[in-house]
Amino acid sequence: MDALRISPRYTSLDWQCLDSSNPKDWSKAVKIVRDRLEGRFLRFASDCLKKLDSGFVVLAIDCLLAETLQQFREGITDGTGQSTKMITRFLEGSQFQPDFNADARKAFYVDIRCGLLHQAEAKKMWLIRRKQPSLLQETAGGEGYIIDVGRFHAALQNSFDEYLKAVVESSNALLRSNLWKKMDHICSVRTARGALYEAEGNSVSSLGREYKNAGT
């Protein structure tokens, strides 16, 4: 049975053929991670950003990616109960400073990340706008924030690029180990699914047909 895809261009088998101890394999490893996150998420957010009234959906995708990127950095394979920590740590990155202080990071998690992903709304006194003088600014009286979605998306893209550039360097052993741990986990899940489902383009597996016939 064909391996399931982990990105638009690569399957779990492409990853499992790599050897973390082989310096030559790291170039392809980075390509696979880029293809996964850029090919499935970032490029769609970038395309959406070109359209008016897309700020909410762009920030929703960016929140998903911010949490995922921090999991890659720390080698987290089960993010259950760790979303607050992942988002606030990600926003401590240089691309989001000095705009996101501790209070802003906490408010972003509650009112933007959770607001958009759980309720499809920016909560409390947050405004999502474009072409602002800064990435984030506190409103008069300190009751809320105005976030520039274009600047935020650019900062996320830059953070992603910086991360992959750092992983290429052999001196960043912990980052490399954590990335490999995360990708090994992702591929192990794909392998387990591959025992039940055929790769895209093929007919559904017998189990898939049973589910379909059962109306589930």
The amino acid sitting at 193 is: R
Is residue 7's pLDDT more than 90? yes
The pTM score is 0.87
Is residue 213's pLDDT more than 60? no
Residue pLDDT, tens place only, 11-63: 999 999 999 999 999 999 999 999 999 999 999 999 999 999 999 999 999 99
Q: 132 is written with which tokens?
A: 């602002």
Residue pLDDT, tens place only, 157-171: 999 999 999 999 999
pLDDT band at 3 (very low <50, low <70, confident <90, very high): confident
Torsion of CA 82, 87, 88, 89, to 10 degrees: 80
pLDDT score, position 203: 38
DSSP string, 74-98: HT-S--TT-HHHHHHHHTTSGGGTT
DSSP string, 104-167: HHHHIIIIIIHHHHHHSS--TTEEEESS-SSSEEEPGGGS-EEEEHHHHHHHHHHHHHHHHHHH
pLDDT score, position 113: 97
pLDDT score, position 201: 57
pLDDT score, position 156: 98
pLDDT score, position 44: 96
pLDDT score, position 204: 37
